[in-house]
């Protein structure tokens, strides 16, 4: 097993714990109720440093797409859902049923929601852009308030207005 590296990014909506191997980001998750614990070290791999920099650019409104490599660990269904999430354009939202249709399983709306909740690459795999059919915000592992903040943040920096 390869060594894991951790680095915290203190975002405007809470601490994001970034975890990577030597060559791939494995997790970007909000950590509740704590100050940043992991600072950059000399032995941190470039992929983790790139992730940190790109998260910073995202929160500054300068980045809309991420280019560092990441690894999604899940079932085939979950990976199909997560891949579909990456096709949602910046600052736009879609309904769970749209993702179900995108993966060719229109009746899997609840399963899509469950797969969304298991996404470990927050923001980069933009599960925050998925909303209910009634256009209301529903479930987000980081909290509905963060989902609302992220959607508003992206709308603020949208360039096609």
18: helix, coil or strand? strand
The number of beta carbons lying within 10 Å of the beta carbon of residue 58 is 22
Would you name the residues annotated as active-site residues? Answer: 127
The one-digit pLDDT tens for each residue of the chain (161 residues) are 678 999 999 999 999 999 999 999 999 999 887 777 767 666 889 999 999 999 999 999 999 999 999 999 999 999 999 999 999 999 999 999 999 999 999 999 999 999 999 999 999 999 999 998 778 877 777 778 899 999 999 999 877 54
Nearest to 116 by CA among 158, 67, 83, 70: 83
């Amino acid at each position: 097993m390869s060594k894991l590296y951790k680095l915290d990014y203190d975002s405007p909506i809470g601490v994001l714990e970034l975890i990577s191997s030597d060559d791939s980001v494995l997790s970007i998750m909000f950590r509740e109720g704590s100050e940043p614990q992991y600072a950059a070290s000399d032995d941190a791999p470039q992929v983790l440093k790139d992730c940190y920099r790109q998260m910073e650019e995202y929160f500054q409104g300068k980045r809309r797409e991420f280019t560092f490599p990441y690894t999604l660990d899940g079932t085939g269904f979950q990976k199909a859902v997560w891949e579909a999430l990456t096709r949602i354009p910046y600052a736009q939202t879609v309904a769970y049923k749209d993702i179900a249709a995108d993966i060719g399983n229109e009746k899997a709306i609840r399963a899509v929601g469950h797969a969304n909740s298991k996404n470990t690459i927050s923001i980069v795999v933009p599960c925050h852009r998925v909303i209910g059919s009634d256009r209301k915000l529903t479930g987000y592992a980081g909290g509905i308030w963060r989902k609302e903040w992220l959607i508003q943040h992206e709308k603020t920096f949208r360039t096609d207005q």
